[in-house]
Every structure is written in C-alpha cells, then in structure tokens.
C-alpha cells in the first residue's frame, strides 16, 4: 500500500470510528443558515449581483455526515446536490440525516476527492469545507476538483491555519507520543482528556482550549477530529496561495473580509498608509503575523470565468437595478434582526420600508421603489454592501 493509500485509509478509519460532524439528526429542516452555502447570497458576495439561475448543480466534496449537505439542499430550493466522502460510516449517517429532514434532492457517492472525475458533468457550486487539509496530497485534491467547476461557478473552501492552531499542533504531538497505537483513536481521545485534566489551569494549551474550543470538544467526535487526526496540513498565507494557484482558478476573496483589513489593527495613518501600499497577499501575511490567534482557518471563494462583477458605484446602474431582500437574515419582518453573519442590525424606519418593498421583488427597479420610499441612494448602496439586499442588473 502506498503512503497516500495508507493515509487515506487512516482518515477513513477515524471517521468510521467517530463520524463527523456529530450534529443530531432532525425530522425537519436544520435551523438557521450559513450564507456561504446559499447560492444567491454567495454569488452576490462574490460578484456584487444576484445570479440569473437558481436551478444549479452543487457538489459537497467531503460531505462527512451530511451536515453541510443538508443545508445545501434546504437553502437552495432548485438545486440538485451531490455528496461524496471517503468514509462509508459517515456517508451512512449523511443519507439518514437527509432522508429524515426531507432533503431529497441529493445523491451520495462513496468516493475520494481524487476520483471526482468519475462524477458526470460540472457543478455551479463546489463546497469543500474542512477536507483538503486532511488529504495525503491537498494540491492533487484541489486539482482533481477544479475541472468539475462549471464556467461562472463558485468553489467554497475552508482549510486550517498554522498560526491560530499552534497549541492544537502541540497537543496533537503530545498525545501521539503517549499513545501505544496511533491507529487506536479511542485511546487517543482518552489520553488527550487525561492530559488536559492533569495540566495546571494556567497552562497555555489548557487556556487556549478553554478560550476557544472546549464547548465543541465536549463531544468525543470533535475532540478526535481536532487532536488525534492522522493527517492535518496547516497553512500560512504563502502556502495557502500555493494551493490556490495550483487550482488555476480565480481567487475571489476571503468570506470574512473584515478580518483582512489593515484598518482593523492600525490606528496610525502612517502605518495604515504603508500597509495599503502592499500587495493583497503581502497585506494578508502582515495581518496574520500581527494577529495570529484570530486566524485559525481560511475560508474563501474561487471562481471560474466568465464571472461578472458590479460594485454599484454608478448611480444610474443602481437606480436601474432590481433590489431583492437577502434570504439570509433572521428576525424578519422586524427592524431589529440578525444579518447574514448573525450580527444584530437595527434598521431605520426608512431602511425598513425600503426592505419591505424589496421583499420578494423581482420586477421593480430601485428608482421605482424610491418614488414611494424616501431613502437616499447612498443608504440603498449601504444596504447592498451589508448584504441585506441583492441586486440584479
């Protein structure tokens, strides 16, 4: 057996032992939303405008127990969804999960990411969350998936960062040293929990665990995925873009753009001016160097041209656009609601009236709505920038 096959078998064994993610199975659609899994919201984020089509094909590459797959079905009412995974145990849970919640527009395949070429056709949205960094060869993995992305499609990726996960790396190695058999994942979890219980409360690894991970790690599945995984590749900005460049796809941006703004760290104009002269990649590296604990992962979109883009700086274009309320918010119809990132938003009365006019709108232009709702065009532009409305040219 080759090294690659050995690693793949070990990863499959982990997830057969601890199917992941371990979220409970429901007899109804899952609660809430993740806007990155909603085609309308994700496309608008990446291009500035609403997609023309909703009857798309979605691939959940490395679907695990189907938590993301289930959301992809329920958040995209016209999409056909395909899920693939290396673990037969995880796939069995995924199938049951989706059957129970009525996510019936999905097909599952027991398949490695390396064998994505066995799938028919291309996909408008590929979702690959927490998977590439567990492959024996992540570059081979992204190169296998990239050709399956259709023209005008989006590729959503999540991988780990080395800087924000430094304490995890230390604990992973410590557990491995004390294990009698690294393939015995239950032993690894037991040893890891013993170590945390034995270390003093002010220990750096204990503090980081308590501050950042302890709530989710009460479940053995999460603890195992974090601390006894047989394969993990952690990235920095340099190695991340080596991975991205290998795909030969277009980098569309991080899905948490505020994290990567220099103004978040610098309040001195001279430093901010110097930072703004850097290339994007240099600025990203600067930010992760100065605020390493906040960068535990990278979540971003790639795309395949032709992809449109509109920043709506032109008043004429904005006035002629058709505005529609974003599907990713909670608490509507109310002036106080949760936005796409579950942050509280308080709408002014005029913003609220404009949003009501946009609710379900597919024909009326901004100009037509402004004839009835007294709101400035700059506030309309602000609503779009906050992803509260989607715009169609």
Question: Which domain CATH number covers 156?
Answer: 3.40.50.150
Q: What is the pTM of this model?
A: 0.96
pLDDT digits (tens, 9 = 90+) for 327-385: 999 999 999 999 999 999 999 999 999 999 999 999 999 999 999 999 999 999 999 99
**Within a domain: 44:** yes
The residues pairing with 59 across neighbouring beta strands, listed in sequence order, are 82, 126
pLDDT digits (tens, 9 = 90+) for 61-97: 999 999 999 999 999 999 999 999 999 999 999 999 9
Q: Which helix (H) or strand (E) holds 155?
A: strand 149-160
**Within a domain: 309:** no
pLDDT value of position 1: 76
Please, which residues have CB within 8 angstroms of residue 197's CB and are 6 or more apart in sequence?
none
Chosen domain end from 227, 250, 273: 227
**Within a domain: 20:** yes
**Within a domain: 98:** yes
pLDDT value of position 86: 96
Shared-domain flag, residues 140 and 286: yes
Shared-domain flag, residues 206 and 100: no
| CA distance linking residue 220 with residue 318, whole number of Å | 51
Chosen domain end from 205, 227, 249: 227
pLDDT value of position 195: 98
Tell me which residue of 386, 357, 385, 388 sits closest to 373, measured CA to CA: 357
**Within a domain: 308:** no
Which domain range does residue 201 map to? Answer: 166-227
**Within a domain: 137:** yes
**Within a domain: 11:** yes
Number of domains in the chain: 3
Q: Which two tokens stand for residue 232?
A: 């993990």
Chosen domain end from 282, 303, 324: 303
Q: What share of the chain is helix, strand, coil (3-state, %, to 5)?
A: 50, 15, 35
Shared-domain flag, residues 263 and 334: no
**DSSP tag of 330:** B
Residue segments in the chain with a per-residue pLDDT below the cut of 70: none
């Amino acid at each position: 057996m080759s090294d690659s096959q050995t690693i793949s078998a070990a990863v499959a064994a982990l997830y057969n032992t601890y199917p992941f993610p371990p979220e409970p199975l429901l007899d109804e659609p899952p609660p809430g939303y993740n806007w990155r899994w909603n085609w309308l919201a994700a496309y608008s984020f990446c291009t500035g405008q609403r997609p023309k089509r909703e009857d798309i094909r979605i691939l959940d590459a490395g679907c695990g127990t189907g938590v993301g797959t289930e959301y992809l079905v329920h958040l995209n009412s016209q999409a056909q969804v395909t899920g693939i995974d290396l673990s037969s145990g995880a796939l069995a849970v995924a199938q049951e999960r989706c059957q129970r919640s009525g996510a019936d527009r999905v097909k599952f395949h027991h398949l490695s990411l390396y064998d994505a070429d066995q799938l028919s056709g291309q996909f408008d949205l590929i979702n690959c969350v927490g998977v590439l960094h567990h492959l024996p060869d992540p570059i081979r993995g992204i190169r296998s998936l990239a050709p399956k992305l259709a023209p005008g499609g989006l590729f959503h990726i999540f991988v780990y960062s080395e800087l924000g996960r430094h304490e995890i790396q230390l604990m992973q190695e410590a557990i491995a040293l004390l294990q009698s058999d690294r393939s015995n994942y239950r032993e690894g979890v037991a040893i890891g929990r013993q170590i945390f219980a034995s270390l003093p409360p002010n220990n750096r690894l204990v503090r980081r665990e308590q501050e950042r991970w302890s709530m989710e790690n009460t479940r053995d599945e999460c603890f195992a995925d974090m601390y006894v995984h047989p394969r993990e590749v952690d990235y920095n900005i340099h190695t991340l873009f080596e991975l991205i460049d290998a795909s030969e796809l277009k980098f569309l941006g991080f899905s948490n753009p505020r994290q990567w703004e220099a103004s978040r760290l610098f309040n001195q104009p001279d430093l901010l001016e110097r930072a703004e002269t850097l290339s994007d990649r240099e600025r990203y590296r600067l930010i992760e160097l100065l605020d390493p604990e906040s960068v535990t992962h990278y979540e971003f979109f790639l795309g395949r041209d032709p992809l449109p883009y509109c920043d709506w700086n032109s008043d004429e274009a904005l006035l002629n656009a058709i505005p529609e309320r974003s599907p990713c918010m909670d608490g509507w119809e109310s002036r106080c609601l949760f936005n796409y990132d579950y942050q509280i938003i308080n709408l002014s009365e005029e913003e609220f009236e404009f949003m009501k006019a946009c609710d379900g709108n597919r024909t009326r232009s901004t100009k037509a709505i402004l004839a009835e709702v007294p709101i400035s065009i700059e506030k309309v532009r602000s609503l779009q920038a906050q992803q509260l409305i989607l715009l169609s040219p």
